[in-house]
Amino acid sequence: MFSALAPYGWDEDWADAFAPHTADGLLPGRVIRVDRGQCDIVTVGGTVRADTEFVVPRDPMKVVCTGDWVAVDPGGDPRYVRACLPRRTAFVRSTSSKRSEGQILAANVDHAVIAVSLAVELDLGRVERFLALAWESGAQPVVVLTKADLVPDPVTLAHLVQDVETSAPGVPVLTVSALHGEGLDVLVALVGSGTSVLLGQSGAGKSTLANALVGTDVMDVQAARDVDGKGRHTTTTRNLLALPSGGVLIDTPGLRGVGLYDAGSGVGQVFSEIEQLAERCRFHDCAHETEPGCAVRSAVDGGELPVRRLESYRKLVRENQWIVAKTDARLRSEIKKDWKRKGAEGRAAMQAKRGRR
Ligand SMILES: Nc1nc2c(ncn2[C@@H]2O[C@H](COP(=O)(O)OP(=O)(O)OP(=O)(O)O)[C@@H](O)[C@H]2O)c(=O)[nH]1
Ligand SMILES: [Mg+2]
Ligand SMILES: [Zn+2]
C-alpha cells in the first residue's frame, strides 16, 4: 500500500508511523513545496494543496515544511494537514537575530549538501556556520564547491579544497562544474539514496545542480549576477524533487545568512579537532585565552591550528550560547504568561460559579 510513494522516500518505517492515521481515512503524503501558508503534498491520489499550519498554529516549529511526511484529509474542503509524522531530522536556523525563533528549512533529510561558489572569495566562517546547522540537523553534511570551471589552475583549486577540508573535519568536500558536467558522478552517487537538501547562498548554483541531477531543467536558473548572495533570489520556494535514478532532492532559496539555533553539538562537530585538543587543557573549563597549560593555544602557537579556526569557534560558541539563553528566557516568559492566563481564567470561572450561586 502507498508504495507508489517510494520514489519520494516512503519506506516501512514511514508506513509504521502513518498506520494510526489509516483508520481515520487519511492519506499519507510528502510536502514537496511550501508557499505562503499553503503546501503541495504528493499523495497516491496526486498532488494536493493544503494549509501548512497544524496542531499549534503560530509556532514556527509546528508548521509543516518541505520534506515532511503528513496525514491529509483527501476529501476535506478546505483541506488541511491533520498530522505531521515525527521528523527524523530537521534543518533549523534562527529566523532573525531579534526574535530568537527557529525556522525549519527542510525535514527528513539524510544529506545536507552545502553549495559554495568558487566564483567568489571563500568565506570559511560561513561554511562553518552552515556545517554547524547541518550537523545539528542530524543529516550528514557534504560541501560542494561549485563553478570549478572558473578556477582553471589546478594548484589554486587544490588549495581552496584544502582550506575547506581544514574547516570541515569529517565532511566530504567535492568540486563540481555543472557547466562542464565535471565531478557530478560523485554527487550523483551520494544523492542517489535518501533525501538530500541543497543549501547555500543565492547564486551558489544550487538550482543549476538540481537541474543537472534531475537531467532536465526543472528549476529556474537566472543568468549570472556579478556578486553572489546579493540581488534577487531566483528560487523562492523550497522544492522537493524525486530523482530519476533514485533519491530525493530538495532545492532551497539562497540564504543570505544562517543564524545558529540551539546548535551546540553541531558547533562541537564542526570544530571537533579543537574540542579534542581542549580535553588536554590543564583546566577543564579552559577558555583557551590566557590560562596556563592550554593545549588549544599551544596548537595555535605551534602552527597546527589556524588562529582563524579558534576565533571562528569562539564566535559561534558565543552566538549559540546567546541564542540558547534568549530562547530559554522567551520560553520562560511564555510559560509564565500561560500560567497567568490560566490563573485568570480559573479566577473568572470561580467568580462565574459564585455568581450563579
Ligand atoms: N561558470 C559556471 N557558472 C555556473 C555553474 N553553475 C551555476 N552557474 C551560474 O551561476 C548562476 C546562479 O545559479 P543558480 O543555480 O540559479 O543559483 P542558486 O544557488 O539556485 O540561486 P538562488 O536560487 O537565488 O538561491 C547562474 O547564472 C548559473 O548559470 C557552473 O558550474 N559554472
Ligand atoms: Mg535556485
Ligand atoms: Zn585551553
Q: H-helix or E-strand containing 335? A: helix 307-356
> Looking at residue 228, what is its pLDDT?
47
Q: Which of 210, 214, 207, 211 is nearest to 234 (CA)?
A: 207
| CA gap 192, 213 in Å, rounded | 10
pLDDT of residue 230: 52
Q: Indicate if the pLDDT at residue 46 is higher than 90.
A: no
- Asked whether residue 157 carries a pLDDT value surpassing 80, the answer given is yes
pLDDT tens digits, one per residue of 294-311? 999 999 999 999 999 999
CA angle 202, 206, 210 (to 5 degrees): 150
> Is residue 208 within 6 Å of ligand 1 at its C-beta?
yes
Which ligand lies nearest the alpha carbon of 288? 3
Residues recorded for the chain: 357
Q: What is the pLDDT of residue 237?
A: 73
Scan for cell 500560567, then name that residue: 339
Give the ligand whose atoms come closest to the C-alpha of residue 274. 3
Tens of pLDDT, residue by residue over 203-212, are: 999 999 999 9
pLDDT, residue 56, reads 46
Mean pLDDT (whole number) for 92-105 = 73
Residue nearest to atom 3 of ligand 1 (CA): 147
What's the CA gap between 254 and 290, in Å, rounded? 40
Nearest CA to ligand 1 atom 1: 147
**Confidence at 97, pLDDT banded by 50, 70, 90:** low
Amino acid 343: pLDDT: 61
DSSP codes, 183-246: THHHHHHHHTSSEEEEEESTTSSHHHHHHHHHSS--S------SSTT-S--S--S-EEEE-TTS
- Contact yes or no for 236/207 (Cβ under 8 A): no
Residues 4 and 22 sit within 8 Å (Cβ to Cβ): no
Is residue 100 within 8 Å of 120, Cβ to Cβ?
Answer: no
Mean pLDDT of the chain: 86
Which cell numbers in the block locate residue 269?
562537530
DSSP readout, 48-94? EEEESB-SSTT-GGGB--TT-EEEE-SS-SS-BEEEEPPPS-EEEEE
203 CA distance to ligand 1 middle (Å): 5
What's the gap in Å between 286 CA and the centre of ligand 3?
A: 4
351 has pLDDT over 70: no
How many whole angstroms separate alpha carbon 260 and alpha carbon 266?
A: 9
The answer to whether 81 touches 70, Cβ cutoff 8 Å, is yes
Determine what percent of the chain is predicted with pLDDT higher than 90.
Answer: 56
Lookup: cell for 280: 588536554
Taking a C-beta distance cutoff of 8 angstroms, is the pair 323, 329 a contact?
no
Q: How far is the CA of 142 from the centre of ligand 3 (A)?
A: 29
Instruction: Give the rounded percent of residues in the chain with a pLDDT score beyond 70.
Output: 83
pLDDT at position 312 is 96
355 C-alpha to ligand 1 centroid (Å): 69
DSSP category for residue 3? G
Mean pLDDT of the region 24-39: 88
Distance of CA 312 to the CA centre of its chain: 20
Provide mean pLDDT across the span 255-271: 85
Q: Is the pLDDT of residue 229 over 50?
A: no
> Where is pLDDT greater, at 250 or 340?
250
d(CA 31, CA 66): 5
Q: Which of 316, 315, 320, 310 is nearest to 273 (CA)?
A: 310
Query: What one-letter code names the amino acid at 71?
Result: A
79 — pLDDT class (breaks 50, 70, 90): confident
Q: Which of 187, 218, 222 to mutate to test the pocket of ligand 1 (most atoms within 8 A of CB)?
A: 222
Distances (CA, A) of 20 to 16, 67, 82: 8, 20, 12
pLDDT range class, residue 53, cuts 50, 70, 90: low
3-state secondary structure 95-144: CCCCCCCEEEEEECCCEEEEEEECCCCCCHHHHHHHHHHHHHHCCEEEEE
For helices 124-137 and 154-166, what crossing angle results, to 10°?
50
Whole-number pLDDT of residue 338? 61
Locate 137 and state its grid cell. 540537523
Nearest CA to 156 out of 175, 184, 179, 172 is that of: 175
Average pLDDT of the segment spanning 54-75 = 76
Residue 41 has pLDDT above 80, yes or no: yes
